[in-house]
Amino acid sequence: MKKLRLLEVYFRKEIFPSEIASFRRAVIAIAGMENILFHNHLNDKFRYSYPLIQYKIISGKPAIVCLERGVDEIHHFFNRMGIKKHRLSDRNYTFEIDRIKTAEYTLQVWENDFSCRLLNWLPFNQENYRRFKEMEDDSSKKTQLEKILTGNILSFAKGVNWQVDKEIHVNIFSIDRERIIPVKETKREAFHIRFKTNVFLPPNIGLGKNTSLGYGIVKKAILRKSKTVV
């Protein structure tokens, strides 16, 4: 069991989904490159660990989601934010805070399952994407996606220093949407899915690839008809 600290900062002025990377760059520039958690790079090399500061659009609003040490580091941005305008893509943008939400969650493997949605989930690297495309039956594809999602949850656990002491179960029961989207000038396959797991996942954290740019956002499941995975 672990207590997870989470802080969400929401801004008043809306941005387009295509501007998330630019929004992230502006926040990094304000906070300072010396503060590693804002950009996850160390000595010009990528820091291969779960991002503790993530940039998203939530309910139409740009947001910064901070976990654990990220909660402690966000003051670097607050202290330097000021009221001046900053460049976002090809326009000026003023960072005006709409609201700040703080929460603490208990992380553990439970006896019961929780139903979740995962929005714009990017599960694949080159190797497992190749294997996925070679599979001919839906059952094998479902098993592959569930293994990847389990690995994503374990990566999240490791990133927030939660030592998982029981087996994690994942059951993807629906794929609501599957599409190809551009990510960092590369075409990637993204999914909206619904699944059950015996881990309580805090809302708005990211799972999968490119979570720092708002992909793979966890939400509470909404039960409705959709394409079912068998």
Tokens of 46: 């990528």
pTM score, whole prediction: 0.92
Tokens of 219: 């939400």
DSSP string, 61-99: EEEEEEETHHHHHTHHHHHHH-SSEEEETTEEEE--EEE
For the stretch 26-56, pLDDT in tens is 999 999 999 999 998 776 555 668 999 999 9
* Res 172: pLDDT: 98
Q: Which domains occur in the chain, in start order?
A: 2-105 (3.30.70), 109-220 (3.30.70.1900)
* Res 48: pLDDT: 66
Tokens of 88: 């976002």
Cα(99)–Cα(107) distance, integer angstroms: 25
DSSP string, 124-167: --HHHHHHHHH--SHHHHHHHHHHHHHHHHHHHHHHTT----S-
For the stretch 101-119, pLDDT in tens is 999 999 999 999 999 999 9
pLDDT higher than threshold 60 for residue 160: yes
State what percent of residues in the chain have pLDDT above 90: 78
Q: What's the mean pLDDT when you consider all of the chain?
A: 91
Note whether 154 and 50 are within 8 A (CB). no
